[in-house]
Structure 1
Amino acid sequence: MTASTAPISTSLIQPHQRISVAPMMDWTTRDYRYFARLFNPHVWLYSEMVTTGAILYGDKARHLDFNAAEQPLVLQLGGSNPQDLATCSKIAEDWGYAEVNLNVGCPSDRVQNNKIGACLMAEPELVADCIAAMQQAIEIPVTVKHRIGIDDRQSYEEMLHFVDTVAQTGCTHFIVHARIALLNGLSPKENREIPPLRYDDVYRLKQERPDLTIEINGGIQTLEATTAHLAQVDGVMIGRSAYHDPYLLAQCMQLSQQTPPDRFAIMQQFLPYMEQRLQQGASLSMLTRHILGLFQNIPGARKWRQALSGNNAKTIADVERALTYMQERIDTAAHCFVAD
């Protein structure tokens, strides 16, 4: 068995609250999502952002297929044409997604040039038209993920105007990344790190708009931080920490007084999935990249990563040997602790 944080004595997450894993390009693939689901049956998972053009003119199955075990699963759409978004939302509903989310937060040049992502915060009326069209097309919920501001539109009042404009459509769920995005001069990575976090703006939004569901995102890395945010808002969206240290998702089980699953039990469930994906033509390195953080902060984690990085692991047997090494390392550490 592996170490986890001390159990929380009372249930801290309320029935209307939720924990989710942020949509992340190249990271929240269907393989990662299957892996993430094994840590926690309750978290909401998101696809990578998929543009309307990719769905309308590309390989729908490649972009939309998922394993039923991933549910509840949200499709995040990128686009700004109301009719295209409505059509893609209907496709998503028919495909079996539990919810559709509109990306109004991504700051990359590529999406800006296609009028997608954070640049849309400058056009709240257009976003409202998009959301209204999406809602009219489907029965499942439609939500919005956005920043607290962009460029010279950085004030709380401007964010509130954006939210109020979109909320007039009947949209009630907003996921707020608590940083502004500077669309000229900062890379997407820098936009995740350099603008300061303004959690108080998100808390204030919930206080002033109590009828809306407000979920907070940005820089959340621990169970303790998640717990603190849930005291202020309706949900917490965890980003890169859920990828680099996926056991954080298991620790969140404690918020509802449930025991986190064991890391080795998780891998015993994931190994058959890996075998299946290999038979379907996936490369082993495509799968192992998602599990490198399994033993984050555990003695031996560096050896685990080294054994599985790149093409170091050639077969499933190599993964199993790395698991055996970690089990022996942890058992030895536990024995020494008892002896002391």
Structure 2
Amino acid sequence: MDQSPIKQGKSNVFNAARLSVAPMMDWTDRHCRYLHRLMSRRALLYTEMVTAPALVQGGALHLLRFNEAEHPVALQLGGSDPQELALAAKMAADEGYDEVNLNVGCPSDRVQSGCFGAVLMERPQLVADCVAAMQDKCDVEVTVKCRIGVDDQIPEDVLPDFLQKVSAKGVNRFAIHARKAWLQGLSPKENRDIPPLNYDLVLQMKKDFSHLHISVNGGIDSLDQAESFLAQGLDGVMIGRAAYHTPSAILLEADRRIFGDSRQTTPEAVVYAMLPYIEQHLSEGGKLHQITRHMLGLFAGQSGARAWRRHLSENAHRADAGPEVVEAALGHVTFAKAVQ
């Protein structure tokens, strides 16, 4: 199975953004991204959000670690201090990331207290200052992921103003989560579901800012939806939870349907391709469950999926757990398909 990544220049990263896997805290770590890359050679992958203070003040360089096979891969940064973000962006570029993305969408309490994330929707000029400083310091593309507004803001008013001010500083690519964020009264989890989706506004922004590359995010759970948005003129689609929980339904078909790439693989082949990676991780002192927790949804909707999940969940945490646990779990799937 040839899963070598596509060599990326700026234009290819731009093309990869036709379909991307959203940055998700506690989920899209380097092990998750390696798995996803085995499933799609083309889709753009994002890290979890990394705060600029953690890198610049805390020296947490381990947060930048990634496998070369992950390309094209983008680092998402959180912060609101232009100079600190600029230094963090340079660190990301020096590390080899293909893109640096500024988080203007996360609604968590921790993000609000640090004056970054979705609260920055109220401070478009500060965001503009941040991206300008970042671009001055790094030689890879700087992008922005945002909401359509927060709290009592009127999205139809604030989103065009936000895009105008930030794009004036040279940002050409935006991923827009088509929901407001309610910073008061809703939890981060509720903010992913309760505020209504306004896809029409995102589509209108593409018409009004035709020169910008605009991706839509939020509530998208199928490639059918992704293809529909692309057909309506959007430049990209960013999928989050569906790509994580049902990766085979999203990523195994993505290269063919979204990018016109005929190469394709199977969940079983992906499992076998993960085994050397698992062995390497264990040899470095890692634990099996740090990887297999991202693999639970590989067979979602298929025969044997429940037995696969159960076996990994019950055995991957053992101190001596190794690749044989994964192979045994795969045996449950193979058996279920054989007796189908």
* Alignment equivalent of 1:332, drawn from 297, 316, 339: 339
Counterpart in the other structure of 2:213: 213
Structure 2 residue aligned with 1:242: 243
SS in 2 for 1:180: coil
For residues 69-116 of structure 1, give each alpha carbon's deviation from its aligned partner in whole angstroms, at most 9, with x where no partner exists. 001110100000000011111111101000100000000010100001
Q: Which residue of 1 aligns with 2:111?
A: 111
Aligned-residue offset at 1:259: 4.3
Residues 17 and 43 in structure 2, CA contact (< 8 A), matched pair in contact too? no
Q: Which residue of 2 aligns with 1:296?
A: 300
Find the counterpart in structure 2 of residue 337 from structure 1. Answer: none
Q: How much does 1:332 deviate?
A: 3.0
Contact 2:279 2:322 in 1 (8 A): no
Give the drift of 1:51: 0.4
User: Residue 313 of structure 2 corresponds to which residue in structure 1?
Assistant: 309
1:119-130 to structure 2, matched below 5 A, reads 119-130=119-130
| 2:4 alignment counterpart | none
What CA deviation, in whole Å up to 9, does each residue of 1:221-263 have, x standing for no partner? 1111111111120001110111101111111122115243111
Q: Give the residue type in structure 2 aligned to 1:306.
A: R
Q: Is the 8 A contact 2:100 2:142 kept in 1?
A: yes
2:104·2:121 contact (CA, 8 Å) conserved in 1?
A: yes
Structure 1 residues 185 and 322, CA, compared in 2 at 3 Å: closer, same or farther? same
Deviation, structure 1 residue 276: 0.6
Larger relative contact order, structure 1 or 2 (CA cutoff 8 Å, min sep 6): 1
Alignment of 1:190-201 (within 5 A): 190-201=190-201
Alpha carbons 1:101, 1:143 under 8 Å: kept = yes
Deviates more, 1:57-66 or 1:26-35: 57-66
**2:256 corresponds to 1:254:** yes
Cα separation, partners in 2 of 1:241 and 1:211, compared to 1, 3 Å: same
- Give the secondary-structure state (helix, strand or coil) at the position aligned to 2:39: coil
Amino acid across the alignment from 1:152: D
Aligned to 1:44: 44
TM-score by length of 1: 0.91
> Tell me, what secondary structure is at the counterpart of 2:176?
strand
- Aligned partner of 1:96 in structure 2 is 96
Q: Deviations over 1:197-218 (max 9, x none)?
A: 1111100000111100001100
* Cα separation, partners in 2 of 1:146 and 1:316, compared to 1, 3 Å: same
How big is the shift at 1:60? 3.3
CA RMSD of aligned residues (A): 1.4
How many residue pairs end up in the alignment?
320
Question: Aligned partners of 1:148, 1:284: CA distance in 2, in Å?
Answer: 39
User: Equivalent residue for 2:278?
Assistant: 274
Instruction: Give the alignment of 1:162-173 within 5 angstroms.
Output: 162-173=162-173
Q: Structure 2 vs 1, CA of residues 190 and 319 (structure 1 numbering), >3 Å: closer, same or farther?
A: same
Q: Offset of 1:287 from its aligned partner?
A: 1.3
User: What is the CA distance between 1:286 and its match in structure 2?
Assistant: 1.3
State the shift of 1:170 in Å.
1.3
3-state DSSP of counterpart to 1:179: coil
Give the secondary-structure state (helix, strand or coil) at the position aligned to 1:181.
Answer: coil
Query: Residue deviations 1:282-326, cap 9 Å, x none?
Result: 111111101000000112111111111154563321210111221
> 1:177 is aligned with what amino acid?
H
Q: Which range is displaced more, 157-166 or 102-111?
A: 157-166
Residue identity matched to 1:63: L
Q: Does the 8 A contact of 1:77 with 1:103 survive in 2?
A: yes
Percent identity for Structure 1 against Structure 2: 49
CA deviations over 1:140-194 (Å, ceiling 9, x no partner): 1000000011001132121110111101101110100000000000000000000
Rounded to whole Å, the distance in 1 between the matches of 2:169 and 2:298 is 42
SS of 1:220's partner is: coil
The AA in structure 2 aligned to 1:276 is Q
Q: Any conservation in 2 of the 1:306–1:312 contact (CA below 8 Å)?
A: no
Q: How does the TM-score come out when normalised to structure 2?
A: 0.91
The answer to whether the 8 Å contact 1:154/1:180 transfers is no
State the one-letter code of the partner of 1:317: E
1:319 matched to 2:326? The reply is yes
Contact 1:34 1:70 in 2 (8 A): yes
C-alpha separation in 2, matches of 1:16 and 1:308? 32
Q: Which runs of 5+ in 2 are unaligned?
A: 1-13
